Structure 1
Amino acid sequence: METASTDLTSEIHAERERLAGLLSDLTPEQWDAPSLCDGWRTREVVAHITMPFRTRPLGVMAGLVRAGFSFNRYADRDARSTARAMSEAELVDLLRRNIEHPWRPPGGGEAGALSHDVIHGLDVTEPLGLPSAPPERIALVLASGGPRQLKYFGVNLDGKRLIATDSDISVGEGPTVVKMTAKEILLVVTGRRPL
């Protein structure tokens, strides 16, 4: 599935706008609810989603040095400190003001930016029972992944092929076919849900 750069950019903007709209209606209890990211509540996930809009390359490097060059440790510290420092309204406002921000993760490009927003959006919407991104947008994220992403998330699909029932996408190869929604596939391949 090849996608033009303009299509990816418009999907990034649409996903950020969708998330800002959902987040603006959350109750204080929902902001403190556990997310799919181990140890993070909704507020830490949203703080992490906004990290690219708040940080500069030198700040990232300094944070990585302090975290012993562990990006996960650095991201965790950043999310927790930002969630303590910023109110819910400030986090939503930061996201809303950066809907069209041009951030692209190193080596990930536009597909990586869309993946970041969609996956972390699911980290919040799934436990809260809120709507997820549209299946076609999730399929774009799945199409940009590959064996490297499966390895990163520690997922083994040996012998299995996951086929979406709501979009034209499949992941993995093998004789065992498992049919599920695109959202369910993304939750599985990112280690959020067991197969």
Structure 2
Amino acid sequence: MDSDAIWHHIDTERAALADILETLPDDAWRVPSLCDAWTVRDVAAHLCFAQAGIRDILRPALRSGLRYNATIRTSAIDSPLTHPEIIATLRGFAGSRRTAVGVTEREALLDTLIHTQDICVPLDIDHRAPTDAAVAALERVIWWSRRMPLGPRLRHLHLVATDADWEWGSGRRVEGTVQWLLLAAAGRSVAHQHLRGDVRALA
């Protein structure tokens, strides 16, 4: 997938998420998301750092002892943005190709797609990203898993999509829709119940 297509999907999915967030009552923003210890509001606030520069992350980085994951968590939880400001920020990204420092548009795509589901799944909102976008995000997660093994070990798995002409790897077979494969590869165990095969190998 080329850069133009990736940015089209990013813009479309951000706009869709903003529309979803706009419909939520206040108590829904406090619902635990699929991200450990993050609420729906925290995840949405995190997505507003999609264009963060060094100055934007310096303070939370120092407060978090320069630990990457802690910095991400602190920046989201401590964000002063109100619900309407979060929605406006997501919509305001439309048309911009700026990314956060140190990442590419492929990380922006996977971040948008995965975190949208982190919000939608616990709220029982059925939102499905375009299959080709989900495939591109899944392939990027796999790319990262081979360099920074922070999530499930995918090396010995054979992942097979049931809704697209896509498969990857060899070994223990796990199959399902691209969306659930993406969430499983990103470490969301809730996806396991939607997959078939040797799902225990994802643990």
TM tier, smaller: 0.7 to 0.9
Q: 1:68 to 1:57 in 2, by over 3 A?
A: same
Q: Distance in 2 between matches of 1:74 and 1:163?
A: 34
TM-score (norm 2): 0.84
Out of 30, 44, 63, the residue aligned to residue 66 of structure 1 is 63
Question: Does the CA contact (< 8 Å) of 1:125 and 1:132 recur in 2?
Answer: no
Question: Does the CA contact (< 8 Å) of 2:50 and 2:108 recur in 1?
Answer: no
Partner residue in 2 for 1:121? 116
Q: Distance in 1 between matches of 2:122 and 2:56?
A: 32
In structure 2, runs of 5+ residues without a counterpart are 193-198
- By how many angstroms is 1:97 displaced? 1.2
In structure 1, runs of 5+ residues without a counterpart are none
Q: Would you tell me which structure has more helix in proportion to its own residues?
A: 1
Matched, 1:148 2:144: yes
- By how many angstroms is 1:28 displaced? 1.5
Q: Distance in 1 between matches of 2:155 and 2:4?
A: 34
Q: How do 1:1-195 and structure 2 match up within 5 A?
A: 3-53=1-51, 55-82=52-79, 85-130=80-125, 131-149=127-145, 151-171=148-168, 173-193=169-189, 194=192, 195=199
Question: Does the CA contact (< 8 Å) of 2:135 and 2:178 recur in 1?
Answer: yes
Secondary structure of the corresponding residue to residue 72 of structure 2: helix
Partner residue in 1 for 2:196? none
Question: Does the CA contact (< 8 Å) of 1:142 and 1:169 recur in 2?
Answer: no
- By how many angstroms is 1:154 displaced? 2.5
TM-score (norm 1): 0.87
Task: Give a deviation string over 1:93-147, Cα, whole Å, max 9, x none.
Answer: 1111112332324554111111111111111011111113222221111123335
Aligned residues: 189
Secondary structure of the corresponding residue to residue 121 of structure 2: helix
Taking every aligned residue pair, what percent have the same amino acid on both sides? Answer: 27
